[in-house]
Amino acid sequence: MKHLVAPSILSADFGNLQRDIEMINNSEADWFHVDIMDGVFVPNISFGFPVMETLTQHAKKPLDVHLMIVHPEHYIERFAEAGAAIITVHYEACTHLHRIIQSIHNAGCKACVALNPHTSVSLLKDILVDLDMVLIMSVNPGFGGQKFIPNTLNKVRALKGIASSNNPNLLIEVDGGVGIHNIQELVTAGADVFVAGNAIFAASSPSEMISSLKNADTEVLKSI
Ligand code: DX5
Ligand code: ZN
């Protein structure tokens, strides 16, 4: 499967949100990545349901909703109703992770678990078979524009190894500090989905940057 690109709306221009949504609609991007922050689980507050409504109204691609909140179990149905296709909860925020994964599936969404940089992928062994995707945070969550943590590559390789025996269809998503400088190495390590905020929205042409990220592997092959 060719890797997927999910631009992070957190880095969009909120004064021109509809314009940025249309740019993504008309680009080679696969999903919209939607970062929800509560100021408790992470030291930042992003946006909530009013922005979700604008996204649902205009976005023509699946909404990949990343909940950086405590007690995500209180909001699963609401985000599903608001149009989420994929709901990600943090391992570190869930005491009853298995129950929350069931409730995401019951709400009709794909289920994903995110791991902070310090959380080992081995902790997911007994839940992996129930998941559609694992999101490996490659920065400490809370802010766009941070530097990629290199140990992420080891985590992607290790997770790919565990998943090959008990959930070969599992998608591995990487979020934070992803750009043209490291995407090829991450694809080789086994990652499938790439979130990018700053790399896309700070580029002179965001839609060309999306194409470069989407075709990064083939461009490398062409140059060999
Ligand atoms: C960080 C968020 C990311 C963020 C990525 O807490 O989960 O999705 O928007 O932004 P960049 O690509 O700028 O690191
Ligand atoms: Zn995110």
Instruction: Tell me the percentage of the chain whose pLDDT exceeds 70.
Output: 97
Ligand 1 center from residue 67 Cα (angstroms): 12
CATH of the domain at 92: 3.20.20.70
Amino acid at 5: V
Rounded-to-integer distance, Cα 28 and Cα 10, Å: 19
Number of separate domains in the chain: 1
**Residue 12 in this model has a pLDDT that exceeds 60:** yes
Rounded-to-integer distance, Cα 28 and Cα 183, Å: 16
Q: Would you say the CB of residue 193 lies under 6 angstroms from ligand 1?
A: no
pLDDT score for 217 = 76
The atom of ligand 1 lying closest to the CA of 37 is: 6
**Residue 92 in this model has a pLDDT that exceeds 60:** yes
Catalytic residues: 35, 175
Q: Would you say the CB of residue 66 lies under 6 angstroms from ligand 1?
A: yes
Contacting residues for 79 by C-beta, under 8 A, at least 6 apart:
36, 52, 65, 67, 87, 109
**Residue 83 in this model has a pLDDT that exceeds 80:** yes
Ligand 2 center from residue 24 Cα (angstroms): 16
Q: Whose CA is nearest to atom 6 of ligand 1?
A: 141
Q: Would you say the CB of residue 177 lies under 6 angstroms from ligand 1?
A: yes
pLDDT score for 221 = 54
User: Confidence band (pLDDT; 50, 70, 90) for 223?
Assistant: low
Q: Give 29-47 pLDDT, tens digit per residue.
A: 999 999 999 999 999 999 9
Contact 13, 37 (CB under 8 A): no
Alpha helices in 69-174 (DSSP H): 76-81, 97-106, 152-166
Give the closest residue to 65 by CA, choosing from 39, 91, 41, 47: 47
How confident is the prediction for the chain on average, in pLDDT?
96
**Residue 136 in this model has a pLDDT that exceeds 80:** yes
Q: Would you say the CB of residue 46 lies under 6 angstroms from ligand 1?
A: no
User: Confidence band (pLDDT; 50, 70, 90) for 21?
Assistant: very high
Pocket test for ligand 1, best of 40, 182, 198 (most atoms within 8 A of CB): 198
Ligand 1 center from residue 182 Cα (angstroms): 15
Q: Would the pTM count as exceeding 0.95?
A: yes
CA 23, chain centre distance (Å): 19
Q: Would you say the CB of residue 179 lies under 6 angstroms from ligand 1?
A: no
In terms of residue numbers, what domain contains 43? 4-223
Q: Give 103-133 pLDDT, tens digit per residue.
A: 999 999 999 999 999 999 999 999 999 999 9
**Residue 224 in this model has a pLDDT that exceeds 80:** no
Rounded-to-integer distance, Cα 93 and Cα 45, Å: 16
Ligand 2 center from residue 114 Cα (angstroms): 9
User: Confidence band (pLDDT; 50, 70, 90) for 202?
Assistant: very high
